[in-house]
Chains A and B, each alone.
Chain A
C-alpha cells in the first residue's frame, strides 16, 4: 500500500525566501508524481506533473525534482511571495494506475 508523507507539516517564512517542501513515498514503482496547491476551503490546483523518466520539472518560480529510487520528491519555491501561502500536496499513483494517493500536505505561510 502506497504511503505518502510530507515534511514539514507547516512552514512559515518571510517574503523573498527560497524554500523546499519534501514528499516521500513508499512504493517507488510510480509513473508520475503531481504537486498541487490548495487554498483554504478551496479546490486543488495542479502545479507540476513530473514523469517517472524525468528528474526535474519547472514552472515559473517552482521546480519539482523526483528521485524514484529513494522515493522522494521536492518542490522548490524561489523568491516566495505572500500569494504563495497555501497548502501544498503531493500525489502519486498507487496500486494500479487509476488510484492516486495524496500526502497530508505542507501548510505554507509567507509573511510580508
Chain B
C-alpha cells in the first residue's frame, strides 16, 4: 500500500541551527502539507503546497519556515534558525485532490531543539 515516508524519524539540533525535514509523498498525489504537534497539544496545520507554490499557510508558518519540492518527489520543510519552541513532531501529508479526499500522513519526524 502506498505511504508517505518521512526522514529522519528523530532529529536533535542545537538552537539557532538550520534543519531540513524530508518527506516523500505518495507518487500520484498533487497536494502536500506540513503539520506539527507539540508534545501534549493538538496537531496544527502549518502549510499546504500545490503546483510548486504555497497555497495556504498558518500564522505559525513565519519567515523562519520554508518549503520546497526540489526534485519532483521529495517535499521538504526547512527551519532556518531553530528555537526551543520548535521542538515538536512534524507530520507531512499528501492528497490526490483538494476536496472530498483522504489525506495520508507520514509517521512524523520528532524534532528536539536543545
A residues whose Cβ falls under 8 Å from a Cβ of B: 31-32, 34, 36, 41-46, 49, 51, 89, 91, 93, 96-105
Residues on B with C-beta less than 8 A from A105 are 42
Contact call B31/A31, Cβ cutoff below 8 A: no
Contact call B106/A43, Cβ cutoff below 8 A: yes
CB A4 to nearest CB in B, in angstroms, measures 8
**Chain B: interface residue total (CB-CB under 8 A):** 27
Give 21 pairs: A residue, B residue, CB < 8 Å, sorted on A: A32-B99, A32-B100, A32-B101, A41-B110, A42-B108, A43-B106, A43-B107, A44-B105, A46-B105, A51-B100, A89-B43, A91-B43, A97-B99, A98-B31, A98-B55, A98-B56, A99-B45, A99-B56, A102-B43, A103-B42, A104-B42
B76 within 8 A of A: no
Contact call B103/A100, Cβ cutoff below 8 A: yes
A-contact 0/1 string along B44-83, CB 8 Å cutoff: 1100101000011010000000000000000000000000
Complex Cα spacing A27 to B45, Å: 17
Could you list 7 further interchain pairs (A-B, Cβ under 8 angstroms) beyond the known A43-B106, A100-B33?
A46-B103, A89-B43, A97-B99, A99-B45, A99-B58, A100-B35, A102-B44
Contact call B98/A34, Cβ cutoff below 8 A: no
Chain A interface mostly? strand
Residues on A with C-beta less than 8 A from B98 are 97-98
B residues whose Cβ falls under 8 Å from a Cβ of A: 6, 31, 33, 35, 42-45, 48, 50, 55-56, 58, 89, 91, 98-108, 110
Q: A31-B99, A32-B100, A51-B100 are in contact. Are A98 and B106 (CB under 8 A)?
A: no
Complex Cα spacing A21 to B100, Å: 23
Complex Cα spacing A34 to B100, Å: 10
CB A98 to nearest CB in B, in angstroms, measures 4
Residues on A with C-beta less than 8 A from B105 are 36, 43-46
Complex Cα spacing A101 to B89, Å: 16
Complex Cα spacing A44 to B48, Å: 17
Q: Which of B44, B98, B100, B104 has the most CB of A within 10 A?
A: B100
